[in-house]
Amino acid sequence: MAFAILQIISILLNVAITIIIVQAIMSWLLAFNVINLQNDIVRAIWTTLDALTAPIYNPIRKIMPDFGAIDLTPMVVIIAIIILQDAILPPIAQALLG
């Protein structure tokens, strides 16, 4: 049971990384006018991605210094997720299963 829960957590963390990367790429495409928010599908995807990531980004943005147009928050979140996956979850799994 514990192994299944840890696997689900790992999958959810991988999905979170994917969502963050997709949003970062989409923000670059929006910034360089490759796509725009006038398109309904683009706007719907952007709104959904923003709703998913804003609760994670906002507390980190309050702590991080302002770098102007460069937003390093997605990178910080991805690094935190990788640390969680590689350094925190394996010892927990080993303790629960071992």
* Per-residue pLDDT tens digits for 41-97: 999 999 999 999 999 999 999 999 988 888 999 999 999 999 999 999 999 989 988
Dihedral over alpha carbons 36, 42, 48, 53 (to 10 degrees): -40
CA separation for the pair 88, 33 (Å, rounded): 40
Residue ranges of the alpha helices (H) in 1-98? 2-31, 40-63, 73-83, 89-97
pLDDT category of residue 2 using cuts at 50, 70 and 90: confident
> How many structural domains is the chain composed of?
1
**pLDDT of 98 above 80:** no
pTM for the predicted model, two decimal places: 0.90
**Domain enclosing residue 38, as ranges:** 2-97
**CB contact set of 97 (below 8 Å; sequence gap of 6+):** 2, 3
Alpha-carbon Rg for the chain in angstroms: 16
Higher pLDDT, 5 or 2: 5
